Structure 1
């Protein structure tokens, strides 16, 4: 009896720290295979690269905690980034009123975040009001947002956005890249919301048992709509960072970003069934995905094989998640 209890305890500890163990092993393997991996410049580069995924993954975590999924974040990222770049560079013309409106960086960024939030809200309403399954609703938005991005940009990048705007994606503050500060702020706010607020408790309750949550008086429609709106706004924030870093809004930006976000969330221990997971775990998952991407590039692995490897990593993470759920 004591032996079986001890084995169970070891298994529980292993499950709890499996993401951290995976990161340590991955870093050890990469350090053995390339001398560049643990250099300060490469570590800062990894931190900058994962900042966008952390922003998106935090929003994805909230969605998955409610038992949903959001496949549209990559397209929302692209459209919001394009709108931000377009309003900043070209402003807004109103020929009917013979008026031109110019935008400051703050105004253009605000437009981008509001547009992402609006698209996320549309996702939430489609899911809660019209009872469209989250997979279908967000898949439709993936196509809609990508189409609007192509229409707005006419298939061409919007470039030359200025040094001040570039500071968001390439600047430094106290020796740390600005995107890292943005990601840390997002994580801190999300951690507070999920652990210290009523909204956070409601999100976990809905994912744990939606019927029980509804019977207890929780407004399911309102909470889910808020969650999808937050996910859209954070995807837009990621789009602004990407656009600033590249000094260009690319029509095809954000392709497959939703897969990296889902992978980070699942690897971080959030259950796809909802109701279980942490923001800290998601950050750890995003770091693992970022380190994996960086390591594959340093090892000169073909981009095609990179997609294959990441696909297997996502599949393995889901299998582990399902196995842990059953146990």
Structure 2
């Protein structure tokens, strides 16, 4: 090999006691690392899909894929609410309880108060917004730490939802504490929210999930309010000194979170057709998992709505595939946690090594 050939070699050049990596090789390695970091979740999602499809061909059936999206729609909607509170440097632990209370509130409104869908839906959404306002009041005005405030609200709502029915689930013919029986019934139009599919294929709940995702993506990524929300989470004092009202921004974040949690509760109530006191048990952890996986999407390493939706779908694909493979139920949380750790480790670990 001649001297000229050695100088053109694309990997490395040697000097006495020193190995200098060629700039082109370094740039290629850095680019590959960046692609892997930004697409870690998508790579893992594709690998899981291939594995499940090979092991169980019915996995890639269109009906099964739509059932996955329908199953994760509520988690994605709640996770989007968590994402907004994370953007302002907060955290909403009450979303699961708000969703469960909304299931009971929707059922009580129709079964006991005999309201129709056009009265029930606005009422339940308003309930979620009020809870968000109460959370914001505790956090912003009374200076209660966000975790403590929303945890307290979670316990308050978990107990409050049981009082009107003395701890019983709500269904037609419910026996009320005063000895009378409820004579109302679920509005058939309300049930369509959780059971109807557009064109016989796309569930309404999936459409609602996509609408929420698009609306919040535009709000958080494309508007001045969105930039201020992230600025509040990054440096609240600087944002306030710049003239923005961090009080209003935080209040907005928690109201959005509470309203979306109520929307999730409405979908559950419409799907199940009864007010189940055990509903919403795992919604908090699943929504938080989706929002945290969102940090790894596209290597953003910050809360983002698109990432949260992808995270929810990721968890849904994982659980659906494990179920189709008859994996024991007690291993599913472990696998879900292991994949979450792997996705975040790839995003943050590669980012550190590339710094």
Do they fold alike, i.e. is TM over 0.5? yes
1:3 has 2:13 as partner: no
2:236 is aligned to 210
Between the aligned partners of 1:189 and 1:305, the Cα distance in structure 2 is 36
Shift of the 156–314 alpha-carbon distance from structure 1 to 2, 3 Å rule, reads farther
Partner of 2:77: 55
Moved more, 191-200 or 51-60: 191-200
CA apart distance, 1:141: 1.4
Shift in CA distance, 324/106, structure 1 to aligned 2, threshold 3 Å: farther
Give CA-to-partner distance per residue, 1:244-286, whole Å, 9 cap, x none: 1010111121112111111111212269xx9934322211111
Residue 252 (structure 2) aligns with: 226
1:169 to 194, 208, 211: 194
Cα offset, 1:198, TM superposition: 2.3
Q: 1:12 to 1:270 in 2, by over 3 A?
A: closer
Aligned to 2:170: 158
CA contact (8 A) 2:129 2:258 kept: yes
The answer to whether the aligner puts 1:14 opposite 2:36 as a matched pair is yes
- Structure 2 contact 40–343 (Cα < 8 Å) conserved: no
- Following the alignment from structure 2 to structure 1, what is the Cα–Cα distance between the partners of residues 141 and 279? 30
**2:151 matched residue in structure 1:** 139
In the alignment, the residues of structure 2 paired with residue 64 and residue 317 of structure 1 have an alpha-carbon distance, to the nearest angstrom, of: 19
Following superposition, the deviation at residue 45 of structure 1 comes to: 0.8
* Residue 210 of structure 1, CA deviation: 2.0
After superposition, the Cα gap between the structure-2 partners of 1:325 and 1:122, relative to the gap in structure 1 and judged at 3 Å, is farther
Structure 2 CA distance, aligned partners of 1:286 and 1:60? 12
What are the residue-to-residue correspondences of 1:40-119 with 2, within 5 Å?
40-91=62-113, 102-119=114-131
Residue of structure 1 equivalent to 2:317: 291
Partner of 2:305: 279
Deviation at 1:138, TM superposition (A): 1.4
Matches within 5 A, 1:224-303: 224-269=250-295, 276-303=302-329
**Counterpart contact for 1:56–1:231, Cα < 8 Å:** yes
Q: Is the 8 A contact 2:93 2:147 kept in 1?
A: yes
**What SS class does the counterpart of residue 59 from structure 2 fall into?**
coil
> Which residue in the other structure is 1:23 paired with?
45
Query: Aligned pairs, how many?
Result: 315
Deviations 1:121-151 (A, max 9, x none): 2112211122222222111111111111122
- What is residue 178 of structure 2 aligned with on the other side? none
Shift of the alpha carbon at 1:324? 6.0
Q: Distance in 1 between matches of 2:343 and 2:134?
A: 30
- CA deviation string 1:25-64 (max 9, x = no partner): 1111111221221112211211111111111111111111
The CA distance in 2 between the partners of 1:223 and 1:324, in whole Å, is 33
Match 2:137 to one of 125, 148, 151? 125
2:37 and 2:351 in contact (8 A); partners too: no
Structure 2: distance between partners of 1:312 and 1:156: 37
Give the drift of 1:163: 2.7
Unaligned runs of 5+ in 1: 92-101
TM-score of the aligned structures, taking structure 2 as reference length: 0.83
